[in-house]
Amino acid sequence: MAPPLILLQDIHLRYGAMPLLDGAELSVSAGERLALVGRNGSGKSTLLKIAAGLVEPDAGSRFFQPGATVRYLPQEPDFTGFPTTLAYVEAGLAPGDDAYRAAYLLQALGLTGEENPAILSGGEARRAALARVIAPEPDVLLLDEPTNHLDLPAIEWLEAELKGLKSAIVLISHDRRFLENLSRATVWLDRGATRRLDQGFGAFEAWRDGVLEQEELERHKLDRKIVAELDWLRYGVTARRKRNVRRLGLLHSMRKDRREERRATGNVKLAVTEAEASGKLVIEAKGISKSYGGVPVVKDFSTRILRGDRIGIVGPNGAGKTTLLKMLTGALEPDTGTVRLGTNLDIASLDQKRAALDPTTTLRDALTGGGSDQVMVGGVPKHVMGYLKDFLFTPEQANAPLSVLSGGERGRLMLARALAMPANLLVLDEPTNDLDLETLDLLQEMVADFPGTVILVSHDRDFLDRTVSSVIAAEGDGSFREYAGGYADMVAQRGHGVQAKAAATKGAPEREKARVGARDDAPKEARRRLSFHEQHALKSLPAAMDKLKAEMGKLSALLEDPSLYARDPGKFEKTSAALAKAQGELDAAEEEWLRLEILKEELEG
């Protein structure tokens, strides 16, 4: 195995009473693709910062391969002192790096390079930060939630770009599809320690469940042993006091271990408070349209939503998804057309911007409204501490201001507020933002089991595939079309996924006004051309294939020696394995070269 570029061993870090990291380890070798997973608050971002050299652990060793280049993507990039996004990205380049890469990546991500970093939206800031860390093509990329604030076109572009890099990548993300498509190994950070699975994220969840089941079995065995020892302690110790002092000490040790054991964090208990059933017709829209500054955001859209339907709305940022959602639910009047809401509707909604949260309010008051220990859950009072526990909040957090909550904790709080209300229509605008994977699983189950109607806006492909029965997709220029099935079904019907919102060359003032009503954070669609990596690969692959063929010739010549196996079985096995590996690499190189040649011809044609 190649020597690691980064090696963290026996890392310890304590914040407050409980250790955050307790013997955590991380090894990153050249070309590895690691998914770093764990619950919100488990210390993933902190471990990544330690790997980047930004945080000093209390104990443990950290090794960096001399000369290796490392780039770290923070969740909150700092643009202080940079006049433009291009200057910010170019500052991340090392001497000798290709300066063209900075401009190319910004353009590919929908930025011009002339934007003022001080007034960037969340999506624009994330794109600029991504361009800065990717541009140098470092040996190691440490990415903390790279898909946050990105829409579907940007996520799929980023996925393709990262696949083409030679860099080793350590990736933290709540986007399950993104992790499955990019990772080749998984590191699980749980209760301060790490476990490694040498398979991608697609195999992780079944493996994790097996580990937790085994832990539960061992815990049950320990409980039974403690009960047996307690029985002995009550009835047998007096007659054998001296010779059983050691056994008594072992019992005390077991009980101490049991008390101090760090158990796996519980799961969020998600359940929607169901209201009385709505009428069969929930929403009927006929020819609705909405424009801002003369620019159509939604144009001539019609649909019928019936009780029990699960509708997903997808499209790039700025395509009008939230505007359409508000019109369908009666929160916004259309310019033309009509919306008819069904009878007996009780709507529970979740705002993607978490706008309803006052940062000075305490967690307890945010749920109870203040001055009470009870929260009304479906019209029934429940003690606030019990309800907080259902959503993985501790009693110590009850009186803390909301400003100290992490993004994931704020997301769980908004879910707690929304799900406490009786509802037969759930309206969820980006519900997956900042939720950890376990909470996402439970949210998916809750949406799937909800007996009422669900309308949601999401950029999470896996979440859409698991929850919705039809997808309303933005087709461009304010047009929307409904497709049966989930996101993958929509792609199969359309022949492509969600595409970037096209940039118009005319009507710029009107489009700037339209941004007030529908923020355009999406990459602008440009004429497709071979990327920097694709051009480089097309030039370098023939030489690489020739080198592999020459290597295979030498290995084959060794294996042709009939006495090799009898003389040196170890060398025979090693040579056979090397030949098989070289053959696999040659096949992959030939397929990639052929794909790029075909793509080049199509683009030039």
**pLDDT at residue 11, rounded to an integer:** 94
Max mean pLDDT range (53-67, 385-399, 508-522, 569-583):
53-67
CA distances from 353 to 175, 277, 382, 434 (A): 18, 29, 27, 12
DSSP-assigned beta bridge partners for residue 96: none
- Candidate from 128-132, 322-326, 359-363 with smallest mean pLDDT: 359-363
* C-alpha closest to that of 43 among 64, 72, 12: 12
| Whether residue 510 has pLDDT greater than 60 | no
The residue-averaged pLDDT of 104-116 equals 90
| Whether residue 171 has pLDDT greater than 50 | yes
The residue-averaged pLDDT of 458-482 equals 88
**pLDDT at residue 266, rounded to an integer:** 54
**Rounded Cα–Cα distance for residues 582 and 554 (Å):** 11
* C-alpha closest to that of 436 among 219, 303, 235, 268: 268
CA-based radius of gyration for the chain = 28
Task: Dump pLDDT digits (tens) for 292-341.
Answer: 888 889 999 999 998 888 899 998 887 889 899 999 998 899 999 999 99
CA distances from 296 to 32, 128, 324, 334, 472 (A): 46, 28, 12, 11, 17
| Whether residue 114 has pLDDT greater than 70 | yes
- Candidate from 19-28, 228-237, 275-284, 510-519 with smallest mean pLDDT: 510-519
The residue-averaged pLDDT of 5-25 equals 88
**pLDDT at residue 239, rounded to an integer:** 46
